[in-house]
């Protein structure tokens, strides 16, 4: 029985011979397969679903990192003042976007 912490492996040669089966297995099981060359891991094959989840996770992590930096930078600021400033800027951006859309639709 394969442990889920250790993905299946396949040699580069096996990929050349049977890539369709390997890709189908990855797609069906949603589990990665590590490609080995000379008994050394070279790459991993993952399903598109897993890749999308990974990309979303990375994007979320970047966003949280930015939020953490902003919070640290504004730690000594009055939260009510920060909220007021942010709200004003958001409203300004919304007005600008509205005006752009209004201009586009009048053509």
Asked if the structure places residue 55 within a domain, the reply is: no
Give tens-digit pLDDT for 25-84.
Answer: 999 999 999 999 999 999 999 999 999 999 999 999 999 999 999 889 888 999 899 899
pLDDT on residue 107: 66
Provide the residue range defining the domain that includes 93. Answer: 77-107
Asked if the structure places residue 26 within a domain, the reply is: yes
Asked if the structure places residue 30 within a domain, the reply is: yes
Asked if the structure places residue 65 within a domain, the reply is: no
Number of domains in the chain: 2
More confident residue, 87 or 82: 87
Give tens-digit pLDDT for 1-23.
Answer: 445 567 799 999 999 999 999 99
Please state, in angstroms and as integers, the Cα–Cα distance from residue 62 to each residue in 27, 40, 68, 90, following that order: 28, 31, 10, 21
Asked if the structure places residue 1 within a domain, the reply is: no
Asked if the structure places residue 63 within a domain, the reply is: no
Asked if the structure places residue 69 within a domain, the reply is: no
Kindly tell me the sign of the dihedral angle through the C-alpha atoms of 72, 75, 77, 79: positive
pLDDT on residue 27: 93
């Amino acid at each position: 029985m394969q442990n889920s912490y250790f993905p299946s492996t396949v040699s580069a040669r096996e990929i050349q011979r049977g890539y369709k089966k390997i890709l189908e297995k990855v797609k069906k099981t949603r589990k990665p397969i590590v490609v080995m060359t000379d008994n050394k891991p070279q790459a991993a094959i993952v399903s598109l679903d897993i890749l999308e989840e990974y990309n979303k996770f990375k994007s979320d992590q970047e966003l949280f990192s930015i939020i953490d930096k902003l919070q640290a930078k504004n730690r000594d600021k009055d939260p009510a003042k920060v909220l007021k400033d942010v709200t004003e800027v958001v409203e300004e951006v919304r007005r600008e976007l509205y005006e752009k859309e209004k201009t586009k639709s009048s053509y």
